[in-house]
Amino acid sequence: MRVEITAAPLPETGVLVVPVGREGALSSVAQALDARSGGLLRRALLAGGGPPKHGQLVELLLPAGLPHERLLLLALGKPEGTRRLDLEEAGGALAARLLASRIGRVHLASTAGLDLPETPAATALALATGCRLRAWRFTKYQHERPDEPQGRIEELVLHLEEEAAGVASAAWPAEAARIAGVLEARELVSEPANVLYPESFAQACKRLERFGVAVEILDRERLEALGMRALLAVAQGSVRPPFVVVMRWRGAERPKPLALVGKGVCFDTGGISIKPAQGMEEMKFDMAGAAAVVGTLHALAARKAPADVVGVVGLVENMPSGTAQRPGDVVRALSGKTIEVVNTDAEGRLVLADCCWYTQERFRPEAMIDLATLTGACIVALGHERAGLFASDDALAERLLAAGEATGELLWRLPLGKAYEQHIRSEIADLKNVGRAREAGATAGAVFVQQFTNGVPWAHLDIAGTAWTSRDLPLCAKGATGFGVRLLDRFVAVHHEAGGPGG
């Protein structure tokens, strides 16, 4: 979808999207169109049994007295206050309608004259952002179906007053960078595991170099030399070798970087503790944490964020085979701690154990945040509405929760603590990789990972329930969500950018 920003007047043909306010309030543009059409807009807004609510659309085909093909009146403004996210979601609703009606080119009118908390420029950008996020779909392996042609939004033209157009044009590239980061993560998550496996994922990371990200790929030999035996134990069942990729975006000199760590299990069969066949195909998404890390670095680098952020992803495939690890095996992790692998399906924490230890030791980060599709138990606890947040540090937790609220990538904090550490005590090793059956499963995974953070302020996002959606969401069609990218981009912008509130 091309987004164009212009100070040119609205065209006298085609499809116009005209924002209207609460209770059918008309913007300056809407008033002019209403006058030209003898009150058509006002009548249309009341025809539905009361004015449309935020995000609702009233569609007028061949509006009498106007030369346009269609007018889409898009209602904006919530009684309880309209946040930027609400505007993005209205943009998402617009995209859904355009796709359903197979409208490929639209001109969006300015909101000047409406009583909204955001300026016309910011409003237009939020609408465009939501529109682009909602319009994305993963179609590369699908031919067009003649019986159900898919819509495609080719172009969205934002019409603004002269000065606002300048402001919006200056701000759009950063917005587009964030969107690109989200879509990058979605692409990676959507790719099947025969296409996206550790090596091809590592190559995809390499593409970040075009934005100035330093990318270092650690291959199996290197991982062996380092002693990442927990990660290697997961990988040993697969013919596809593992990789750890270390990425760094240094958009500013800061004393310490922020570190992001991602679980990149390109496919999780469960290993010898094999998963049931039913639904196993979904486990191609088990690298969504790593994809979110890549997407975030993409966004930060593409918008040249004045921040220092390291991303580390552990890329493996969890397969059953004659070389696979066995339940009961004991491995020595990079940190030196020994782990009894009671269940080979609890593999993500083994990967994160070595990646987190490596990251804190090498970079001494100010804070470390890992993202992982770690536990089914987190879905049991929170459904698909929120990701689980675990944090060793209250301030870090608060900041992440707030970034989640602002971006709609919602989190809910779940507990850590000494009592739960008992759950992962092993009879024969320092730790075992599972807790107690049906007890605090998401926390068991989190406290396990925590053992490898060495006291660095750390947070863990269990995104098992939010990385994929089986229903259309306001900002995301069914499929991979790219969850985490917007949240982390926001978190970095607010707390880790030079000149930001974080210093």
Which parts of this chain interact with Zn ion (CB under 5 A)? 265, 268, 286, 348
Q: 60, 350, 434, 488: which one contacts ligand BES (CB under 6 A)?
A: 434
Report if residue 198 touches ligand BES, rule: CB under 6 A. no
Given a contact cutoff of 8 angstroms between Cβ atoms, the answer to whether 287 and 201 are in contact is yes
**Interatomic CA distance for residues 354 and 358, integer angstroms:** 6
In this structure, how many other beta carbons lie within 10 angstroms of the beta carbon of residue 377? 21
Given a contact cutoff of 8 angstroms between Cβ atoms, the answer to whether 490 and 400 are in contact is no
- Picked from ligand BES, Zn ion, Mn ion, none, the partner binding residue 343 (CB below 5 to 8 A depending on kind) is ligand BES
Quote helix, strand, coil % in the chain, to nearest 5.
40, 20, 40
Size of the site for Mn ion (CB under 5 A): 3
Judged by CB under 5 A, the chain residues 325 through 364 that form the site for Mn ion are 345, 347
Q: 118, 184, 286, 317: which one contacts ligand BES (CB under 6 A)?
A: 286
Report if residue 317 touches Mn ion, rule: CB under 5 A. no
CA 377 centroid distance within chain? 21
Given a contact cutoff of 8 angstroms between Cβ atoms, the answer to whether 310 and 259 are in contact is yes
| CB of 269 vs Mn ion, minimal distance in Å | 8
Given a contact cutoff of 8 angstroms between Cβ atoms, the answer to whether 198 and 241 are in contact is yes
**Interatomic CA distance for residues 317 and 187, integer angstroms:** 18
Tokens linked to 126 = 């939020």
Q: In what order do the strands lie in the sheet with 57-61?
A: 2-6, 155-159, 105-108, 15-20, 70-75, 57-61
Q: What phi-psi label fits residue 470: left (phi over 0), alpha (psi between -120 and 50 degrees) or beta? A: alpha
Q: 88, 187, 345, 370: which one contacts ligand BES (CB under 6 A)?
A: 345
Report if residue 308 touches Mn ion, rule: CB under 5 A. no
Q: 191, 268, 370, 409: which one contacts ligand BES (CB under 6 A)?
A: 268
In the set 275, 304, 332, 337, the catalytic residue is 275
Report if residue 268 touches Mn ion, rule: CB under 5 A. yes
- Picked from ligand BES, Mn ion, Zn ion, none, the partner binding residue 181 (CB below 5 to 8 A depending on kind) is none
| CB of 269 vs Zn ion, minimal distance in Å | 9
Nearer to Mn ion by C-beta: 111 or 443? 443
In the set 22, 97, 248, 349, the catalytic residue is 349
Active site includes 275?
A: yes
Given a contact cutoff of 8 angstroms between Cβ atoms, the answer to whether 286 and 373 are in contact is yes
Tokens linked to 30 = 């809407």
- Picked from ligand BES, Mn ion, Zn ion, none, the partner binding residue 20 (CB below 5 to 8 A depending on kind) is none
Please give the DSSP secondary-structure letter assigned to residue 197. -
Given a contact cutoff of 8 angstroms between Cβ atoms, the answer to whether 207 and 297 are in contact is no
**Interatomic CA distance for residues 70 and 17, integer angstroms:** 8
| CB of 464 vs Mn ion, minimal distance in Å | 10
**Interatomic CA distance for residues 392 and 415, integer angstroms:** 10
- Picked from ligand BES, Zn ion, Mn ion, none, the partner binding residue 104 (CB below 5 to 8 A depending on kind) is none
| CB of 83 vs ligand BES, minimal distance in Å | 30
Could you tell me which of 315, 322, 321 has the C-alpha nearest to residue 348? 315
Give the x/- contact pattern for Mn ion in 223-262, rule: CB under 5 A: ----------------------------------------
**Interatomic CA distance for residues 68 and 65, integer angstroms:** 9
Q: Which stretch binds ligand BES (CB under 6 A): 214-222, 322-330, 344-352, 413-421?
A: 344-352
Active site includes 349?
A: yes
Judged by CB under 6 A, the chain residues 453 through 482 that form the site for ligand BES are 464
- Picked from Zn ion, ligand BES, Mn ion, none, the partner binding residue 40 (CB below 5 to 8 A depending on kind) is none
| CB of 63 vs Mn ion, minimal distance in Å | 55
**Interatomic CA distance for residues 447 and 424, integer angstroms:** 8
| CB of 292 vs Mn ion, minimal distance in Å | 18
Q: 190, 238, 373, 451: which one contacts ligand BES (CB under 6 A)?
A: 373
If DSSP codes are grouped into helix, strand and coil, which group holds residue 468?
Answer: strand
Nearer to Mn ion by C-beta: 268 or 317? 268
Interface with Mn ion (CB under 5 A): 268, 345, 347
Interface with ligand BES (CB under 6 A): 268, 286, 343, 345-348, 373-377, 379, 434, 441, 464
Q: Which residues are catalytic?
A: 275, 349
